[in-house]
Amino acid sequence: MPESLFRHALVPVASPEDAESTMRALRPYVESAEGDVTVINVIEKAGGAPDKASVEQREDYAHKMFSVARDEMADTDCTPTTEIRYGTDVAETIIETAHEINASAIVFTPRGGNRWIRLLTGDVGLSLVSESDLPVITLPEPNDD
Amino acid sequence: MTDQELARDLGFLEAYTIGLGTMIGAGIFVLPSIAAEQAGPASMISFFAGGLVSLLAAISLSELATGMPKAGGSYYYVNRALGPFFGSIVGWGMWAGLTFASAFYMIGFGQYLLPGLGKYIGFLAGWGEIGITVAALVMAALLTGVNYYGVKETGALQNVIVLTLVGLIVAFLGLGAASGPTIGTFLPPEGWPAVAATIGTVYVTFIGFEVIATSAEEIKNPSRNLPLAMIAAVVTPTLMYVGVMFVSTGTLSIEALADSPIPVADVATEIMGPIGALAMIVGAVLATVSSANASILSAARVNFAMGRDKILINWLNEVHDRFRTPYRAISATGIITLVLIAIGVGIGTLAEVASFMYLVTYALVHIAVIVLRRADPDAYDPAFRIPSVLYPIVPILGFVACIAILLQMSFIVQAIGGIIVIFGILWYFVYARDRALSQSLVGEAIAPEPTTVADGQGRYRVVVPVANPETERDLLRMAAASAHAHDSETAEVVAVNIIEVPQQTSLEQDLTFEETRVERQQELLDSARDIADDLDVGLRTHAIVGRNAGSAILDVIEEESADHVLLGWKGKRSRREHVLGSTIDPVIGRAPCDATLVKLGPEGGRATGEIMVLAGEGPHAPVAARRAREFAEAADEEARLTLFNVQEPGEDDDGLSPRERGEALIEEFVERTGLEETQYESRIEVAEDIEGAILDAATGYDTICVGATRTGAVSQAVFGSLPETIGEQTDQTVVMSRGPEESAMSIRQAIVRRLES
């Protein structure tokens, strides 16, 4: 039998809200697979142009996401590993990280939004699905509160 | 460390083009008409002098930026070195300067777009002043939107714009020089003072290089690349500006230049024909937009840095959860820019006010370098230092030059600039003074040499704010442990309780209504006395009614010449304005003595039992060990110390295995703390995820002692993210400590010391 897809999930998060809903959706799967979780936030760099926000400010923001993610998993056996990554292409950086840490799958919850919003923010979800050579799992957002 | 390395993606060329992108901006396309009107061909000297002044600022800024690579640039350095009073002035000054500059660029954009392109595209012509204002407003709104939504601008696009502009200006200079410009009389029409005043007008073109300093955290090999990029980004445009003024004043009459909204394009018509003029117009449109864009982004960074230092409400710095931009700061900057465009201040005045604010900023930056060199806080270790032949000449000369230009500027500009400075001062007194985390290092710089904090009578005092009857006993016990370790005959504990009264009510009035609060205070302090009797330690109490608990505690610390302050913490980070809490932040951030923050875990393991000390390289780790030893000694047989260290797997450059590295580190650590063999055990773990390994191991102990990972002299984090995370994530008792080195004395104290010595 192939190994569980949740042996070591790489979870890219983009905001504290995203971290919360993704971890909540992911939690039951990780618990039943007794897997590991690595949460990353990719700080997008402009690669030569001024960035849209200071790196330091976005690092603070990433720490907020990590704190939310750990809170979500606080009463389980799994303590998520957290890491900030930097790259000009968010999807590519996520996939590279997944290989580096030998992840079994990349897991995220889709963030919705209309076509216009996706155009502005860059559709990282789509790029992940189309570019990744590792399994990519999208979990539906949990609707219980 | 690795995070830092990964975040650095700008080499010399990228840093240089970022600087050029903002420097070769609107200024050179718009200013020739204003400059020529004021000083004629001699305005070349004004541009050259402006370049020299910027060069001096670039050298000082290079040292500061490599010493403290933090977002916020000049504001940050001034706030750190000179304290929040000047921090408020410079923070608001830079922000105002950037919005005035954005408005200036945008009106320049309007001038080139409508009267300029109007010659080629019919419907753009003939809209007059109103048209220019509307075009400027639309573009400013568009840029604000682009930055609000965080539409990605790539390095490649930036390079194309900069290369196009450089190419256009070089072509302009080459063809212009070939056409044989003739300068009639070099003497300025209105005398030499006008040339000096013009420096103030054109200085706005030179504010762009600051962007390089703001990006210091992203530059590879900063000790070399940062100063080089700064100096190159000042010298290149200076030479270009002088050249453009030479060609412009040599080709057109002063009158023709002064009347033209699009001076560079009009000159280009003479020397290159209509195609050349069109190219210059396109260049000007690109340049104005890219400069305004960079200004808006920089303004948001200044807001962020001010919020981080608690000089500004952090509400403004919220990151948009979708666009990941500081959307409120961007919006605020955009709105003020729109207002400035709409009220029609006049393009010259906009430029001059922006220059004014930046000259004030750079004058203080020069002072900041001298103060930091003199005070020499531990964490200030710039990769680039001003070479000894140039120090202190560069900062002194730079300061004098900035002030001299400020004094030359027109009254109206000095008045507007003065109002902004006064606003910064008022802001400090009304908002920032009680909240700001940083302190001035000026005192340290004046004092003869670093002095240790010591009570005149040599009595060791521990201040303990108490507020909760349930935690009071444990906090006092830990304070007593610290006191007992220092000559228990005279050492004493000072318990403090503060009743906070809101601003609106008078202190007396509130008290009569709040008798229960006063009674509670008395009960708390009474039981503190009982506890102290049990613990056999001297105790005095302070019952205080005040506006702000944080400053009241700091006052007690100063009054008592305390050696140590120990506070309790609930174990939750605040999400909004404060890091750990509204009282904790200022006390831990500013107390001039040892400071300890305790999160109490389950009973029976509070500073007794298995005590783990994180033995790391951090500057305050030995302080944590000292606290742990005090606890162990006070608890007698019941406590055991373990020094804990985590290493990443893999051999290092010297071929040491992780275990060997850890052993060497602990050995050195023990030497630094003066522990004895029999007092501790050591434990080394190897793991990729250091934080995770610490959190896992922590569950096996009762009390975890950890030193601050950041030094206060340069950073505003209260303890650093690792100690705070441990405090938040583990259920055990967590003791975070830092030593006194970040203390800064007041100017008055420093002068007194100097006079005494």
Mean pLDDT of the region B181-197: 77
Of B591 and B96, more confident:
B96
What is the bridge-based pairing of β-strands B733-738 and B594-599? antiparallel
In this complex, do A56 and B151 lie within 8 Å of one another by their Cβ atoms? Answer: no
| ipTM score | 0.82
- pLDDT for B743: 47
DSSP B296-318: HHHHHHHHHHHHHTTSS-GGGGP
- CATH topology for B2-442 is Amino acid/polyamine transporter I (1.20.1740)
User: Is B720's pLDDT higher than 50?
Assistant: yes
Looking up tokens 């905001």 gives A15
d(CA B202, CA B194): 12
Hey, of A38, A52, A102, which one would you mutate to test binding to chain B, going by the most B CBs within 10 A of its CB? A52
DSSP B489-521: TT-EEEEEEEEE--TTS-HHHHHHHTHHHHHHH
Mean pLDDT of the region B416-436: 91
- pLDDT for B717: 54
d(CA B403, CA B57): 13
- Considering only CB atoms, A52 lies closest to which of B9, B150, B696, namely B150
In this predicted model, what pLDDT tens digit does every residue of B12-52 receive, in sequence order? 888 888 888 878 867 788 888 889 888 888 889 999 999 99
How many CB contacts within 8 angstroms connect chain A with chain B? 130
Q: Mean of the per-residue pLDDT values for chain B?
A: 82
Any idea what the Cα angle at residue B562 is, between residues B561 and B563, rounded to 5°?
120
Lowest-confidence region among B55-64, B88-97, B455-464, B607-616: B455-464
3-state SS, B610-659, equals EEEEECCCCCCHHHHHHHHHHHHHHCHHHEEEEEEEEECCCCCCCCCCHH
- Considering only CB atoms, B159 lies closest to which of A14, A48, A56, namely A48
Looking up tokens 């004046």 gives B446
Q: Say if residues B511 and B557 touch (Cβ distance below 8 Å).
A: no
Looking up tokens 């030193």 gives B707
Of B160 and B414, more confident:
B414
Any CB–CB contact under 8 A between A21 and chain B? no
In this complex, do A48 and B18 lie within 8 Å of one another by their Cβ atoms? Answer: yes
Sequence-separated (6 or more) residues with CB below 8 Å from residue B460: B483, B486, B487, B490, B491, B492, B563, B564
Any CB–CB contact under 8 A between B159 and chain A? yes
Shortest distance between the Cα of A3 and any Cα of chain B, in A, equals: 23
Shortest distance between the Cα of B576 and any Cα of chain A, in A, equals: 11
- pLDDT for B440: 74
Nearest chain A alpha carbon to B148: A52
- CATH topology for A8-138 is Rossmann fold (3.40.50)
Q: Say if residues B304 and A54 touch (Cβ distance below 8 Å).
A: yes
- pLDDT for B744: 55
* Other C-beta atoms lying within 10 Å of the C-beta of residue B738: 29
Chain A residues in contact with B17 (beta carbon < 8 A):
48
- Token readout for B501 is 């009264």
- pLDDT for B488: 56
In this predicted model, what pLDDT tens digit does every residue of A65-100 receive, in sequence order? 988 888 888 888 888 888 888 888 888 999 999 998
Is CATH 3.30.70.890 what the domain over B450-592 is classified as, yes or no? no
Is CATH 3.40.50.620 what the domain over B594-739 is classified as, yes or no? yes
Shortest distance between the Cα of A107 and any Cα of chain B, in A, equals: 19
In this predicted model, what pLDDT tens digit does every residue of B676-693 receive, in sequence order? 767 788 888 888 888 888
Sequence-separated (6 or more) residues with CB below 8 Å from residue B539: B476, B492, B493, B494, B495, B528, B529, B532
- pLDDT for B621: 82
In this predicted model, what pLDDT tens digit does every residue of B653-663 receive, in sequence order? 777 788 888 88
Rounded to the nearest 10°, the torsion over CA B432, B434, B437, B440 is: 80
Classify burial at B253, counting beta carbons within 10 Å of its beta carbon; exposed 0-12, middle 13-18, buried 19 or more: exposed
Which sequence spans correspond to the domains of chain A? 8-138
In this complex, do A58 and B70 lie within 8 Å of one another by their Cβ atoms? Answer: no
- pLDDT band at residue A113 using 50, 70 and 90 as cut-offs: low
- pLDDT for B529: 83
A-facing residues of B in 711-730 (CB < 8 A) are 721, 725, 728-729
Shortest distance between the Cα of A120 and any Cα of chain B, in A, equals: 6
Lowest-confidence region among A112-116, B566-570, B645-649: A112-116
Any CB–CB contact under 8 A between B15 and chain A? no
What are the start and end residues of each CATH 3.40.50.620 domain in chain B? 450-592, 594-739
Nearest chain A alpha carbon to B145: A120
Q: Say if residues B645 and B682 touch (Cβ distance below 8 Å).
A: yes
Query: How far is residue B519 from each of residues B472, B497, B546, measured CA to CA in Å?
Result: 16, 12, 16
B-facing residues of A in 79-98 (CB < 8 A) are 79, 81-82, 84-86, 88
In this complex, do B155 and A47 lie within 8 Å of one another by their Cβ atoms? Answer: yes
High-pLDDT (> 70) share of chain A, %: 88
- Among the listed residues A97, A15, A73, A53, the one whose alpha carbon sits nearest the alpha carbon of residue B153: A53
Any CB–CB contact under 8 A between B576 and chain A? no
Nearest chain B alpha carbon to A13: B321
In this complex, do A86 and B6 lie within 8 Å of one another by their Cβ atoms? Answer: yes
Hey, of A41, A51, A57, which one would you mutate to test binding to chain B, going by the most B CBs within 10 A of its CB? A57
DSSP B156-175: HHHHHHHHHHHHHHHHHHHH
Q: Say if residues A97 and A128 touch (Cβ distance below 8 Å).
A: no
User: Is B232's pLDDT higher than 50?
Assistant: yes
